[in-house]
A = this chain, B = another copy of it.
Amino acid sequence: MAQLLKGAPVVAAMNEKNAARCAALAARGITPTLAVVRVGQREDDLAYEKGVLARCGKVGVAVRPFVLPAEATQAQLLEALAGVNADRTIHGCLLFRPLPAGMDDRTIRAALAPEKDVDGITDGSLAGVFTGTGEGFAPCTAQACMEILDYYGIPLEGKRVVVVGRSLVVGKPAAMLLDRKNATVTLCNSRTQNLPALCREADVLVVAMGKRGFIGADCIRPGQVVVDVGIHVNEEGKLCGDVRFAEAEPLAGAITPVPGGVGTVTTSVLVEHVVDAAQRASEKE
């Protein structure tokens, strides 16, 4: 029976801290404020936005929506971002992606002021993650993995960590954040040979492939810590991860559930970043 690394207590602890920091900023007349920039009405975006709004409201972060019609042009989106950049009462910006066809992702990302990039999508943030200099913000999901490991006191220094999946949203930044904790990190990809044996070498296994149920018992060493970043809907309409939980849980020492694990923590990280951004902006003035 593995220890369940649930997101809820991590979120509760983060909420408490974020609320206290918001109150301290409010006392100085500052309301940490998040711009949410969305093009169209994609269902995924709306669901995530709803979660963000609720979480922000709970701790005292204001949200300013910028909603463009699905047929908006790139120029209109750039104009919206310029407005966000120029507005000193806005501290962070969440831009929903993927962008509609016809918009250039790189151009749009480059248009956001790095200091407001609380979701880690600009080059400035990615360079900061890579160099460890603390510039910008790490992608929220990658950092959510770290918050869970930290909350549950999972040792990382000197430990073997295997990260399966190398996206810029999770795998690669998670590898860098883990390296910063002095873990020995192996970054796997779809061409990796003998993946199960390699996974079993890990003290901590972080799975972020985006392939439903890809990781099974053959990849798990008894006692291992397993962090499952995947989120999918199975044939029965239930949420599940990249890891086959029923196989992994009896073997693992600790494991994040899906739902109720990493995904739960992501919006709290976003909120924390908005508070950080407001704090940093206030220190510059």
- Check A129 for interface membership: any CB of B closer than 8 A: yes
CB-defined interface of A185-201 with B at 8 Å, one 1/0 digit per residue? 11111011100001000
Q: Shortest CB–CB separation between residue A231 and chain B, in angstroms? A: 23
A188 to B192, CA, bound (A): 18
Q: Quick check: B129 and A192 within 8 Å, CB to CB?
A: no
- Check A157 for interface membership: any CB of B closer than 8 A: yes
- Check A74 for interface membership: any CB of B closer than 8 A: no
CB-defined interface of A168-207 with B at 8 Å, one 1/0 digit per residue? 1000100110010010111111011100001000000000
Q: Which residues of B contact A172 (CB under 8 A)?
A: 130, 179
- Check A135 for interface membership: any CB of B closer than 8 A: yes
Q: Quick check: B179 and A187 within 8 Å, CB to CB?
A: yes
Q: Shortest CB–CB separation between residue A170 and chain B, in angstroms? A: 14
User: Which chain B residue lies CB-closest to A106?
Assistant: B133
A107 to B130, CA, bound (A): 18
Q: Quick check: A123 and B135 within 8 Å, CB to CB?
A: yes
Q: Which of A127, A182, A198 has the most CB of B within 10 A?
A: A127
- Check A212 for interface membership: any CB of B closer than 8 A: no
Number of interface residues of A (CB under 8 A): 32
Evaluate whether A131 and B168 lie within 8 angstroms (CB atoms) in the complex, with A184-B189, A184-B198, A186-B186 already known.
Answer: yes
Q: Which residues of B contact A166 (CB under 8 A)?
A: 179
- Check A81 for interface membership: any CB of B closer than 8 A: no
- Check A57 for interface membership: any CB of B closer than 8 A: no
Q: Quick check: A158 and B193 within 8 Å, CB to CB?
A: yes
A198 to B172, CA, bound (A): 21
Q: Quick check: A184 and B193 within 8 Å, CB to CB?
A: yes
Q: Which residues of B contact A186 (CB under 8 A)?
A: 184-187
Residues of A within 8 A of B (CB): 106, 123-124, 126-131, 133, 135, 157-160, 166, 168, 172, 175-176, 179, 182, 184-189, 191-193, 198
| Nearest 9 A/B pairs, CB to CB | A123-B127, A127-B127, A130-B130, A186-B186, A158-B191, A184-B192, A182-B191, A126-B127, A158-B193
**Besides the contacts A179-B187, A179-B189, what 12 more A-B pairs have beta carbons closer than 8 Å?**
A123-B124, A124-B127, A127-B130, A130-B176, A157-B191, A160-B193, A184-B188, A184-B189, A184-B191, A184-B198, A185-B186, A187-B187
